[in-house]
Amino acid sequence: MLNYRFSPIAGRIMFGFLLYLGFDSHSLYANNHTGNPLLSPRTALQQPPLPDFAAVTDTEQKKQQFFDFLQPQISRINLRIESERAWLVLVYQTIEQGETLAYWQQQMLGELHDYYRVAEPIASSAAFEQLMLRVDTIPASLVLAQAANESAWGTSRFAVEGNNLFGQWCFSQGCGLVPTGRDSDASHEVRVFYSVADSVDSYFRNLNTHRQYAAFRALRAQSRDRNELLNSTELVWGIKGYSSRGDLYITELIDMIRYNALQQYDQPAFYASQPIQIKADG
């Protein structure tokens, strides 16, 4: 028996939010440049351009403008993820009760399964376990600190020319910008994104799916099991592989989170309130 804390009322509210975003049987699967099959055309249009942060000479003003610009985009993605997670719990409750999923539910479950790179068979309890590890929010304070660190407060070449706030790489020729001073035998480029919103979405998917950050997801799941709010200064130790600087990189992020009081931007997940049970297969 698998136990998860979830409010059915919250789930129905979140499901309504999915429908508001355009997630219905007619528009659910429209793909777009984000690479996320679940991001509707309505939200795809809401992608503001990167401001000229280099023109802001006052350091504190620049930092605040950076946070103010990025925080709504982080909230949007976290809300989408909460909606997805709530919907998944409802769907697996339906499966556990022996009911047949509607066609659109099967399609949406398959899209989530693929987007979050789950290898286990669709609709199995093992797949549900993996989805619960991966379909979860990331504290805004951690996202803001990494974005500021990796993009020099939105002023780096990769941020300005490629909308890339997180230094994400790609490995096919022409997929991005070639780093200055790249080793002659290296082939990586710094990925170019259609918009900053796409960069943020890709960052979330990276931390939520890549094997390099399994420790991050495990720490987050432990916090969920203890019914605790996610603490960015603890979870950050799960992303040491993000930078070759290792522990120095992590302590730098922690210092940024604390000095800039970034945890004020964190909000508790809406779906966690009361336990539900999903039976294991067999």
CB 176 within 8 A of CB 189: yes
Strand order in 176-177's β-sheet? 169-170, 189-191, 176-177
Higher pLDDT, 62 or 18: 62
Q: What is the dihedral of CA 184, 169, 218, 69, to 10 degrees?
A: 140
> CA-to-CA distance for 247 and 124, rounded, in angstroms?
37
pLDDT at 176: 67
| 187: confidence class by pLDDT, cuts 50, 70, 90 | low
Average pLDDT of the residues in 209-237: 96
> CA-to-CA distance for 132 and 54, rounded, in angstroms?
40
- Mean pLDDT for all residues in the chain: 81
Average pLDDT of the residues in 88-113: 91
Q: Give the chain's domains with CATH numbers.
A: 2-47+55-278 (1.10.530.10)
pLDDT at 189: 78
Question: In Å, how far from its chain's centre is CA 97?
Answer: 30
SS (H, E, C) the chain: CEEEECCHHHHHHHHHHHHHCCCCCCCCCCCCCCCCCCCCHHHHCCCCCCCCHHHCCCHHHHHHHHHHHHHHHHHHHHHHHHHHHHHHHHHHHHHHCCCCCCHHHHHHHHHHHHHCCCCCCCCCHHHHHHHHHHCCCCCHHHHHHHHHHHHCCCCCHHHHHHCCCCCCEECCCCCEECCCCCCCCCCCEEECCCCHHHHHHHHHHHHHHCHHHHHHHHHHHHHHHCCCCCCHHHHHHHHHHHCCCCHHHHHHHHHHHHHCCHHHHCCCCCCCCCEEEECCCC
| 197: confidence class by pLDDT, cuts 50, 70, 90 | very high
Average pLDDT of the residues in 218-223: 97
Amino acid at 192: V
Q: For residue 189, what are the β-bridge partners?
A: 170
Sign of CA dihedral 150, 134, 25, 272: negative
